[in-house]
Amino acid sequence: MKKTSLKSVLFTLFLLVVGALPALAGEGGESGKALILGLSAIGAGLAIGPAAGGAGAGQGQAVRGACEGMARNPQMAGKLTTTMFIGLAIIEALAIYGLVIALILLYANPLAG
């Protein structure tokens, strides 16, 4: 029996969703609107999930590097801390961008009409 990969399963699901959109685009827009709102909720989850995960991983690496630097050279602790906080703010801004996209998709959806 042939083993299917995750990539082929996701591609098949994508084709099913994309194929269903034109069928629901005609008259009687309530079912089409419900589909758009449902897919927007999925898109919001896909927007915030990787943004939060990537920000968490990036912040963990930044703090680890700063702690290692302070352990090797304690005199540089002040400069390392300042630089680390600036980097953490920039990393957190990327997660906030994902949150903004998710909130736009959920509450100010331009596709729902």
Residues above pLDDT 90, as percent of the chain: 28
What are 29-71's pLDDT values in tens digits?
566 677 778 888 888 888 888 889 989 999 999 999 999 999 9
**Using only C-alpha atoms, what is the Rg of the chain?**
22
Here the CATH number for the domain that contains residue 76 is 1.20.20.10
Task: Name the region of 2 (left: φ>0; alpha: ψ -120 to 50; beta: rest).
Answer: beta
- Count up the domains in the chain and report the number: 1
Question: pTM (2 decimals)?
Answer: 0.63
Query: Which candidate, 29, 15, 48, places its Cα nearest to that of 112?
Result: 29
The dihedral of CA 11, 14, 18, 23: what is its sign? positive
Q: Is 79 within the bounds of a domain?
A: yes
Residues above pLDDT 70, as percent of the chain: 81
Q: Is 80 within the bounds of a domain?
A: yes
